[in-house]
Amino acid sequence: MLILRRIPRWATTGGALVAVLLCAGLLQLANANPAASQTLTLTAWQASEDPGLDPNHELWSRTQFVQAPLTAQAGSYAAGGGSIPVVWARALHYNNTLYVRLEWEDSTQDGSALKVEQFADAAAVEFPAKSATSVPSVCMGQADMGVNIWQWRADSLGNPNELYANSVVDTYPSTDDLFYTARAAGNPYANPKQGPVQNLVAVAFGTLSPAATQDVQGQGAYSNGRWSVVFSRPFTGASEDLAAFTAGTSTDIAFAVWNGSEGDRNGRKSVSSFLTLNVSGAAIPEPEGSDWLVLALAAGALLVIGGGGIGLGLYGLREGKRSA
Amino acid sequence: MVSEAQATRPGAVSAPLRLELVLAGLAVASVIELLILRTFTRTAVHIPALSELRDPYEALASLGRYAYYVSAVLLILSLPFAVARLWGRGDLYARVAAAAVVLFALTAAVARADAASVILVDVLTVGAVIMAASAAAARMDAPGALVLGAFATAFALQGTSTMLQDAASQGYGSYETRWMLWGAEWLALAFAALAPLGLAARPSRLALGLAAIAGLVMFAALLANGSTTKILLLWNEGLAGTLPSVAYAVGAAALLATALGLLRQRRLVVLAGFVLLITGGIGLHSTYQTGLVVAGMVALCIGAREAPRTARGTARAAQEPSAPGRPLASSS
């Protein structure tokens, strides 16, 4: 310390600054991040049996959920999106197939988009593409790091003849695609073989397009003002622009929900930021266990620290007044 | 801060590196990192002609990453400095703040090594923030303590929500935490709106004008491009953006007015602390951002009784009553 005091201040400050800049440069070169992530984690547990696509399967009630806060994403004017504040997410895997279940509150079941002013409820999950080396932008990815999106729509539920029972259409004499213009144009939503979930890829705004492989399955159910939707896909992604999963590893996952009665469609929706998806090799934990002990300890620690803090603050204020 | 006599003496001898200088550098680096890395690179990826601007974009993104590493190094550097300074003062508040810094540093190291339960890491980091905030609030007057209390409670609510969600991901049951997020949003905005009063910042008319413009820009950004702005709010500050846009506009204006007011009063340590709270945000994002909040609280604890100066630079310190314990803002 004495030696330091004999050195002019500009020299010590300048030297320290150079050392800091060098250290930062070395850390960047080594790509060594000294910080640890503290974002939410959704764990996909190993299921003991196939949960299937039924959102009400008994396995889901035994699976812990994570509440992901959503924020508005309006198209161009902040009058839409954000009407769904939170989504409950659960995940499982069975026989190298990932199952993700989303649940959210929605007082209106918007399952039809027959009129131009009608929009269907929908939900989506987003993952980084297999080729992404880091976390891509949650907004449709970026040029060097794409995203894989699975979107389910409520208006794909059920039989169209039942959903639109009072509609009348001419009978086409031909079943050739040429007479079904949307199908002929490659609109996957017009494809009768397409399930309720579209498998999509994107590398930036305006690049969202159907993936070459449509292998994502899904099913939704509406009950008591809540939607529940299950998505499912085998771990292995067919190409580099799709997500891939492996037990014992982590990736990222984000959610989006559209509320049709609020005019949500396309970019107007409620979205989360990326969470960590941990594909665990462990089985679903039993609800009985030491959860209360751990949480009681955690709550106790917070209460002690918080109470101590408030006490300290009040003591400080009193002392401050006294000394004034 | 550095005493005036020392600061103005040409070629002054003495002074090992000062904590105040490190904190000020940390505040500047974290603002650059926030603007470039967390904001620019996350939005510029959507510039339609980005492929043609690839080289400048990558250069700027690299600069943002570098600012992050500079900020991280300064944060790590500030921790032992803060402990040595605070513990050496000997008063209760300073020692609580020092304990908070030690608690955070140990927790961050354990988290980086992935050597502890994520629930434990969440609890201890939130606890460290509450402890540091309590120590800083105890050194302030009632309005300042109220403002810091609002921030710390918002942080604790968001952090507890994350902790409970992490408990769910570990298999310890699932819990409803929506009210925590909602409460945190309100409290964070209360912190922003009341900051000028709580920190006794006295912005000039020009600063008030600039703050009003910043509020209008925020309002316009939320109206014109709510998607990107609200996602950035969530990513950068932990705010979901679910309240009316005008609330965020008022918050942005008040934050800038406070910062400019503190700058005008030359309360640079308080300014650094205030800026670090903003760049850290509320809730648990990473140990880096939580570290910024802890460092911010330390700066506020140190600078809480820092004498405001008039625009002409006349210190009012001599006339002000002394703090409980000895003033921490004196030179080391």
- Tokens 């070395």 correspond to what residue? A26
Q: What is the CATH number of the domain that holds A105?
A: 2.60.40.1190
Measured CA to CA in angstroms, residue B61 lies from A132, B37, B52, B234 at distances of: 17, 6, 15, 20
> Are A1 and A48 in a shared domain?
no
Q: Is the pLDDT of residue B157 over 60?
A: yes
**Which secondary-structure segment (H or E) carries A161?**
helix A160-163
pLDDT of residue B46: 64
Residue B151: pLDDT over 70: yes
Amino acid type, A29: L
Interface membership of B225 toward A (CB under 8 Å): yes
The proportion of chain B whose per-residue pLDDT surpasses 70, expressed as a percent, equals 83
Q: Is A238 a member of any domain?
A: yes
- Tell me what the mean pLDDT of segment A227-256 comes to: 91
Work out the average pLDDT over B145-154.
92
Instruction: Find chain B residues with C-beta within 8 A of A323's C-beta.
Output: 321-324
pLDDT tens for B231-264 read 778 778 888 777 888 999 999 999 999 999 999 9
Do A73 and A14 lie in one domain? The reply is no
Residue B60 CB neighbours (<10 A): 16
Q: Which helix (H) or strand (E) holds A9?
A: helix A9-30
Query: Could you tell me if A26 and A67 lie in one domain?
Result: no
Residues A37-94 have pLDDT tens digits of 888 888 899 999 999 999 999 999 888 888 887 766 544 444 445 678 788 999 999 9
Which of A22, A29, A31, A38 is most worth mutating to test chain B (most B CB atoms within 10 A of its CB)? Answer: A38
Mean pLDDT of chain B: 81
Nearest to B186 by CA among B158, B212, B213: B158
A230 within domain boundaries: yes
Task: Tell me the per-residue pLDDT of A145-178, one tens digit each, with 9 for 90 and over.
Answer: 889 999 999 987 666 667 667 777 777 677 777 7
Together in a domain, A148 and A162? yes
User: Above 0.90 for ipTM, yes or no?
Assistant: no
- The answer to whether B258 and B195 are in contact (CB under 8 A) is yes
Question: To 10 degrees, what angle do helices B118-138 and B142-169 make?
Answer: 180
Give a yes or no: residue A305 inside a domain. no
The verdict on A107 and A203 lying in the same domain is yes
Tell me the CA distances in angstroms from B29 to A38, A252, B23, B53, B72, one per residue in order: 21, 28, 10, 25, 9
Q: Are residues A142 and A111 located together in one domain of the fold? A: yes
How many percent of chain A have pLDDT more than 90? 29
Measured between beta carbons, which residues in chain A are less than 8 angstroms from residue B171?
43, 45, 64, 282, 284-285, 289, 291
Tell if the CB–CB gap between B112 and A25 is shorter than 8 Å: no
Tens digit of pLDDT for each residue in A93-126?
999 999 999 999 999 998 877 778 888 999 999 9
A295 within 8 A of B173, measured Cβ to Cβ: yes
Residue A319 and residue B68: Cα distance in Å, rounded? 39
* Chain A contact present for B61, CB below 8 A: no
> Reduced to 3 states, what is the DSSP secondary structure of residue A107?
coil
Measured between alpha carbons, how far is A217 from A208 in angstroms, rounded to an integer? 19
Mean pLDDT of A7-30: 85
On whether both A196 and A225 belong to a single domain, the answer is yes
**Percent residues over pLDDT 70 in chain A:** 87
Would the CB atoms of A291 and B241 count as touching at under 8 Å? no
CA nearest to A151, candidates A194, A183, A191, A108: A194
Q: What is the pLDDT of residue B8?
A: 37
d(CA A173, nearest CA chain B) in Å: 45
Pick from A111-120, A300-309, B120-129: least confident: A300-309
If pLDDT is split at 50, 70 and 90, which confidence band does B1 have? very low
**CB atoms near residue B4 (< 10 Å):** 13
Domain assignment of residue A71, yes or no: yes
Asked if pLDDT for residue B198 goes beyond 60, the answer is yes
Please give the residue range of the domain that contains residue A185: 41-283
Whether A251 and A276 map to the same domain: the answer is yes
Nearest 10 degrees: Cα torsion A156, A158, A164, A166:
180
Residue A297 is assigned to a structural domain of this protein: no
Q: Which of A71, A140, A298 sits opposite B234 (nearest CB)?
A: A71
Same domain, A121 and A262: yes
Q: Is the pLDDT of residue B44 over 80?
A: no
- Is A64 inside any structural domain? yes
Which residue carries 């396309």 as its tokens? A266
Residue A304 forms part of a structural domain: no
> A220 pLDDT exceeds 70?
yes
Is-contact A291 A57, C-beta < 8 A? Answer: no
Q: Which residue of A has its CA nearest to B105?
A: A35
**A116-120 long-range Cβ contacts below 8 angstroms, 24+ apart:** A118/A260, A119/A258, A119/A260, A119/A261, A119/A263, A119/A264, A119/A265, A120/A153, A120/A154, A120/A155, A120/A258, A120/A260
**A207, A89: one domain:** yes
From chain B, the residues in CB contact with A207 under 8 A are none
Determine the average pLDDT of the residues in B180-207.
89
Mean pLDDT of B162-176: 75
**Statement: residue A1 has pLDDT above 90:** no
pLDDT higher than 80, residue B16: no
Backbone angles phi, psi at A166, to 5 degrees: -95, 5
Q: Provide the domain count of chain A.
A: 2
Q: Mean per-residue pLDDT for B100-114?
A: 92
**A212 C-beta neighbours (distance < 10 Å), count:** 11
Rounded-to-integer distance, Cα A156 and Cα A122, Å? 10
Candidates A87, A123, A89; CA nearest to A104 is A87
Residues of A in contact with B108 (CB under 8 A): 35-36
Give domain status of residue A117, yes or no.
yes
Q: How far is B270 from chain A (nearest CA, A)?
A: 18
Task: Kindly report the average pLDDT of chain A as a whole number.
Answer: 82
Is B171 touching A (CB cutoff 8 A)? yes
Q: Binning pLDDT at 50, 70 and 90, where does residue B75 land?
A: very high
**What residues of B are in contact with residue A8 (Cβ under 8 Å)?**
11-13
Same domain, yes or no: A22 and A162 = no
Q: Do A72 and B235 touch (CB under 8 A)?
A: no
Q: Are residues A215 and A194 in the same domain?
A: yes
Given A295, A302, A320, which is nearest B172 (Cβ)?
A295
Å from A70 to nearest chain B CA? Answer: 7
